[in-house]
Amino acid sequence: MAGIYLHIPFCKQACFYCDFHFSTSLKKKDELISCLVKELEIRKGELKDETIETIYFGGGTPSLLSVEEIELLMKSIYENYRVSANPEITLEANPDDLTDAKIFELAESPINRLSIGIQSFFEDDLKLMNRAHNSDEAKSCLSAAIGSFDNITVDLIYGIPNMSVKKWKKNLQTVFDFGIHHISSYALTVEPNTALDSYIKNGKYPPLDEALAKQHFDVLVAETQKNGFVHYEISNFGKPNYFSQHNTSYWLGKKYLGIGPSAHSFSKTHRSWNVSNNTKYIKAILENKLPNEVEELSKNDQFNEYIMTGLRTIWGVSLAEVEVEFGIDYKNQLLASAENFIIQELLEVENYVLKTTEKGKFLADGIASDLFILN
């Protein structure tokens, strides 16, 4: 079982915090989509023995695609890959694109799951982040979308400077009131070479406060739990039967193929990534070349990957699986490295599975890196 990710590298405008690859010029959109189709054809052998369970349109802003363009890409997938009977097909969308007409068109297309980038329902927050939509569009698109889609996830950002706990709770309550079954929520972070990075360094934007982010995270965990959500991955909260199948496949180490500029692929023993440049990507694909770099994963790399993804989820790290896949020495070293975190009640072993505790969840990535075995 495997998944396909398609990167749509176009946006109307640049959010201040974003470090994903995209262009605000749509001049090469038609040419690039043709190249996505061609890359799907070129790489079909990489998943020839797999059944595709999930398809994910990410970006960028995939909701800039027309339904005809989505169907063209889906046609290429079905022609070149073996697809399960009922695949999860997700489209990331911005509220300003989700007009009533657009939602109706998408509901008639192969898309069966919407991932809507709300981020906040407050106008001042949206302006601070340079989002393309406003608060009214955020609410109106949800009102329309829930009439056509059952499977909807909403993105929210916490740790925004000057966001009170009261405002954060209001953001969450708004999602609950709409009856949304899944939330992905991330702390606002400063990535190098982003506009946000520059503004903070030049004193044009208040510095981020990790203590505030932790406070918001604790509220997020408590409020989602009260409303029947399962905190199944550090940044993801879903009602039963509404977990993201695509993202879950990443965390469980399944194979996935990344199509498009900057897209990443994983095959358990190798990782690869395409060039983050639309022009170079198009040129290479038109020459029947793959514009990617490939990294062979050592045994230590594969172990570290399992630790990193496992500790972020409710499924944790199976000590039995570590012993089978990597050997008893890896298991013993893992337990030795984890001992201090267990004493601090940041990690625990339950049913022979190593997991983060409630106290340790917010620190999961840092804990995992301390458990890595270096090459």
| Calpha distance 223→176 (Å, rounded) | 10
In the chain the domains, ranked by start, together with CATH numbers, are 2-250 (3.20.20.70), 298-375 (1.10.10.920)
Q: Residue 288 has which token pair?
A: 């029947």
Residue 305's pLDDT is what? 95
Over the stretch 239-291, which tens digit does the pLDDT of each residue have?
999 999 999 999 999 999 999 999 999 998 999 999 999 999 999 999 999 99
Q: What is the pTM of this model?
A: 0.94
C-alpha separations of 173 from 151, 163, 176, 264 in Å: 18, 15, 5, 35
Residue 345: predicted pLDDT: 98
- The pLDDT tens digits for 7-60 are 999 998 878 788 788 888 888 999 999 999 999 999 999 999 999 999 999 999
* Amino acid 187: pLDDT: 94
Q: Which residues have C-beta within 8 Å of that of residue 372, sequence separation ≥ 6?
A: 300, 303, 304, 307, 308
Residue 81: which of 58, 57, 55 has the closest Cα? Answer: 55
Partners of residue 150 on adjacent β-strands: none
pLDDT on residue 16: 77
Predicted local distance difference test score (pLDDT) of residue 262: 97
Give long-range contacts, CB 8 A cutoff, 24+ apart: 82-87: 82/50, 82/51, 82/52, 83/51, 83/52, 83/55, 84/1, 84/51, 84/52, 84/53, 87/52, 87/53, 87/54, 87/55
* Element spanning 293, H or E: strand 292-296
22 token code pair: 């995209």
Judge residue 190's burial from the number of C-beta atoms within 10 Å of its C-beta, 0-12 exposed, 13-18 middle, 19 or more buried: middle
Report the pLDDT value the prediction gives residue 375, as an integer from 0 to 100. Answer: 67
Give the mean pLDDT of the chain. Answer: 95
Rg (CA), the chain: 21
Position 324 scores a pLDDT of 97
pLDDT value at residue 336:
97
> Which residues of the chain fall below pLDDT 70?
375
The answer to whether the beta carbons of residues 345 and 337 sit under 8 Å apart is: no
- Distance (Å, rounded) from C-alpha 277 to C-alpha 330? 39
